[in-house]
């Protein structure tokens, strides 16, 4: 399951616009996608309600999800892509927990000194996280609401190059985005003749995301090893769904000797990495456990909690 997180500490940077368009792109191409709203303002939930009224033809449904520690839902079977819209001001433990689930982070950045400075600080913190530093979670910036008559795109590209932040594209300032979002639509729902210029701008962004999105096809079930199923202690309702910050449930990610001893049973390393970073991590924000990817059988210690 591919997880794409849209992150920027500064409010009004275009996170919800970018997240809804990515979800609609997945739906347009027949991908089973869930749009997760980590932002307490629930902007994408409003957009989804408008979309239900419009019922775009020939589109796969977008499953919505909002953070609610008292309402743990189960996703429909077959969800393979998740787009996360995150709140402004995310940092520290909250930022690290989201990144531990993400395969890619897109950072929308507007062209002002305030936006660039905020984005630079956020990127610097992201680079301190092991998952980003090791390259397992890719990070890139997208220029948002740029006026084509100015040199805003060049300024942002130079800024990104200075900070060694991949800069994968720009989206122009256009009322088409505003009108679409208000109706629960995106540019991907409109006739291609009407949005030809905008689709040219989306192409490099989607090409950068393609390896993550295309690699999210459901994998064949691996043989089950004959051992007891690991257990987890349910999170107490008194903690409001929050897990203690200093306690990790993830064991060593190195393959065990038993994995090497049984050809055909051991999963590829990248699949094992994805399984290991799932367990117990969505209990923090609180994020419902239905977003947890299926862990490997030895992913948790029976008494880790």
Q: What is the pLDDT along the chain (305 residues), one digit of tens a residue?
A: 889 999 998 888 899 999 999 999 999 898 989 998 776 666 788 888 888 887 666 567 888 876 554 444 455 667 889 998 888 888 898 899 889 889 999 999 999 999 999 999 999 999 999 999 999 999 999 999 998 888 999 999 999 999 999 999 999 999 899 889 888 899 998 998 899 999 999 999 999 999 988 865 554 434 444 444 344 344 443 433 333 334 444 444 444 444 444 444 444 555 555 445 544 444 444 554 545 555 444 444 444 43
The parent domain of residue 72 ranges over 2-214
For residue 286, is the peptide bond before it cis, meaning its omega torsion is within 30 degrees of 0? yes
Q: How many domains does the chain have?
A: 2
β-strand pairing of 81-85 with 33-37: parallel
Examine residue 199 and state whether it is found in any structural domain, yes or no: yes
Residues 133 and 242 occupy one common structural domain: no
Q: Decide which of 161, 190, 214 is a domain's last residue.
A: 214
Smallest CA-to-CA distance from 66 within 113, 34, 21, 95 is with: 34
Per-residue tokens: 6: 């849209």
Examine residue 103 and state whether it is found in any structural domain, yes or no: yes
Examine residue 220 and state whether it is found in any structural domain, yes or no: no
Residues 138 and 58 occupy one common structural domain: yes
Give the span between the Cα atoms of 127 and 119, in whole angstroms: 12
**Helices 92-99 and 113-126 sit at what angle, rounded to 10 degrees?**
70
Per-residue tokens: 247: 């306690």
Residues 120 and 247 occupy one common structural domain: no
Residues 202 and 259 occupy one common structural domain: no
Residues 277 and 154 occupy one common structural domain: no
Residues 161 and 207 occupy one common structural domain: yes
Give residue 67's pLDDT: 53
Residues 271 and 192 occupy one common structural domain: no
Per-residue tokens: 249: 């449930």
Q: Are 163 and 118 in contact (CB under 8 A)?
A: no
Handedness of CA 271, 2, 215, 6 (dihedral sign): negative
Q: Decide which of 183, 214, 245 is a domain's last residue.
A: 214
Examine residue 153 and state whether it is found in any structural domain, yes or no: yes
CATH code of residue 159:
3.40.50.300
Radius of gyration of the chain (CA): 20
Residues 205 and 230 occupy one common structural domain: no
Q: Decide which of 190, 214, 238 is a domain's last residue.
A: 214
Whole-prediction pTM = 0.69
Give the span between the Cα atoms of 61 and 28, in whole angstroms: 9
Give the span between the Cα atoms of 76 and 13, in whole angstroms: 31
Examine residue 260 and state whether it is found in any structural domain, yes or no: yes
* Cα–Cα distance list, 76 to 62, 65, 134 (Å): 11, 11, 32
Examine residue 156 and state whether it is found in any structural domain, yes or no: yes
Residues 146 and 234 occupy one common structural domain: no
Examine residue 68 and state whether it is found in any structural domain, yes or no: yes
Residues 170 and 288 occupy one common structural domain: no
Residues 71 and 181 occupy one common structural domain: yes
Examine residue 219 and state whether it is found in any structural domain, yes or no: no
Residues 273 and 207 occupy one common structural domain: no
């Amino acid at each position: 399951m591919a997880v794409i997180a849209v992150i920027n500490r500064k409010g009004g940077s275009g996170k919800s616009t970018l997240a809804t368009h990515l979800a609609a792109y997945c739906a347009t191409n027949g991908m089973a996608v869930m749009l997760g709203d980590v932002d307490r303002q629930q902007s994408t939930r409003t957009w989804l309600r408008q979309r239900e009224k419009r019922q775009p033809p020939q589109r796969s449904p977008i499953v919505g999800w909002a953070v609610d520690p008292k309402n743990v839902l189960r996703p429909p079977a077959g969800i393979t892509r998740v787009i996360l819209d995150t709140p402004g001001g995310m940092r520290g433990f909250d930022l690290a927990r989201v990144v531990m689930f993400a395969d890619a982070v897109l950072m929308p950045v507007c062209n002002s000194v305030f936006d660039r400075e905020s984005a630079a600080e956020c990127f610097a913190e992201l680079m301190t996280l092991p998952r980003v530093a090791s390259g397992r979670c890719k990070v890139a910036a997208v220029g948002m609401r740029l006026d084509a008559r100015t040199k805003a795109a060049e300024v942002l590209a130079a800024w990104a190059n200075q900070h060694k932040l991949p800069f994968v594209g720009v989206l122009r300032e256009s009322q088409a985005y505003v009108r679409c979002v208000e109706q629960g639509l995106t540019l991907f729902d409109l006739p291609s003749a009407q949005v030809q210029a905008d689709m040219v701008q989306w192409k490099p962004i989607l090409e950068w995301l393609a390896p993550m999105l295309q690699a999210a096809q459901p994998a064949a079930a691996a043989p089950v090893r004959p051992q007891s199923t690991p257990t987890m202690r349910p999170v107490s309702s008194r903690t409001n769904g929050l897990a203690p910050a200093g306690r990790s449930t993830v064991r060593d990610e190195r393959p065990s000797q038993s994995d090497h001893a049984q050809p055909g049973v051991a999963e590829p390393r990248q699949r094992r990495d994805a399984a290991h970073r799932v367990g117990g991590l969505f209990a923090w924000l609180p994020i419902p456990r239905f977003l947890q990817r299926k862990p490997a059988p030895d992913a948790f210690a029976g008494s880790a909690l």
